Amino acid sequence: MTNFFNALVGERIDRLMTVEIRPLTGGLPSGYVQPLYDICREYHGAPLSMLAAECLQNRIKPGDTVFIATGAGVAPTLPLGETDGPPGAAVLARALARGFGCRVVLVTEDIHLAPVEACAEVASQVLDGQGSITVVSFPKGLEAGRQAANGLFQEYNPTAVVFVERDGPNAEGYFHGVRGDFREPDAVGHVYLLADLAKAQNVLTVGVGDGGNEVGFGDVRAAVTAVHPLGAISKGGFASGVITVTATDVVVAASVSNWGAYAICAALAYLTGKPDLIHSPELERDMVEACVRGGGRDGANGLHQASVDGIDLDGHAAFVQLLNSIVKVSR
């Protein structure tokens, strides 16, 4: 396919992944998805989902190892994490394993382990013997995190590191939710350190997020801060606000982080001519329900139910169906 068609299909996918479906008040900041995307799109100069997919396709070979880091949310509202992140990470892991025959290692901190493992189990059941998916836990605290990150790189020597809905620190080293709530550094796994190591070793990094507080947005943080509906203000009073300083080679901004990961899968399905790299609406339902059984809660409202960012399961299944339609018609 030509670059023209790649860009055209990427545009289709990006438009779908940035449809904002959020409560007008009381939930996640509304009126934010498109400005956030526009900033990242201008920075990269290309459709984000296709750019990420092309970079991954150009780097990954059979037998390589890819890290996908995920997991967000803390007690009391999200004691085991949220439903945005683990499903997207697992679906992307499935696509990379099936598409390239690689080994995917899902990295998450201890408190998010159960929902991530639940999603990984669902994804592993549909690999058809191609590649593999495993899960490793990451400890809390900066020093323990440094040791863990170095150990993971030494053991696996990854070709790429992807972050799906994984918080990164602000300039003062504090982690935030998009609404300004903050986490103490000692209470959080410093998984972003994998991005720092990757950059030092020329390993590809991709960040997927929907708020600007996630790993990936560091290079555009000033522009993102300027359009944040709540002013990107930290409820802890930290001057640098909620937007992370951790950047990635490619940052994919979507309405829902899961959707950003699914969008990359759709772009990979198109690029490789393997339409089964994008999952089905039925698998989407299975994935979110598994995440909930593992303890994941809706990050928009804190409810322990099969929804993601305030959107019901029918909405997410419909999104996946439309991605499939884009891939099928774009041949």
pTM, two decimals, is 0.98
Give the pLDDT of residue 24.
85
Instruction: Give bridge partners of residue 108 from the DSSP assignment.
Output: 137
Q: For residue 153, what pLDDT band results from cuts at 50, 70 and 90?
A: very high
- Answer whether residue 102 shows pLDDT above 90: yes
Q: For residue 2, what pLDDT band results from cuts at 50, 70 and 90?
A: confident
Q: For residue 27, what pLDDT band results from cuts at 50, 70 and 90?
A: confident
Cα separation, 179 vs 144, in Å, equals 28
Domain architecture of the chain: domains with CATH: 3-329 (3.90.1640.20)
Span 150-156, average pLDDT: 99
Give the pLDDT of residue 128.
84
Tens of pLDDT, residue by residue over 239-267, are 999 999 999 999 999 999 999 999 999 99
Q: What's the distance, CA 58 to chain centroid?
A: 20
Give the pLDDT of residue 331.
85
> Distance of CA 71 to CAs 50, 105, 181, 211, 296, Å?
24, 14, 16, 14, 10
Handedness of CA 82, 88, 94, 97 (dihedral sign): negative
Structure tokens at 253: 């901004």
- Average pLDDT score, the chain: 97
CB atoms within 10 A of CB 282: 10
Span 275-297, average pLDDT: 98
Q: For residue 1, what pLDDT band results from cuts at 50, 70 and 90?
A: low
Quote the DSSP letter at residue 274: -
- Answer whether residue 231 shows pLDDT above 80: yes
SS3 category, 308: strand
- Answer whether residue 11 shows pLDDT above 60: yes
Give 38-64 as a 3 state SS string: HHHHHHHCCCHHHHHHHHHHHHCCCCC
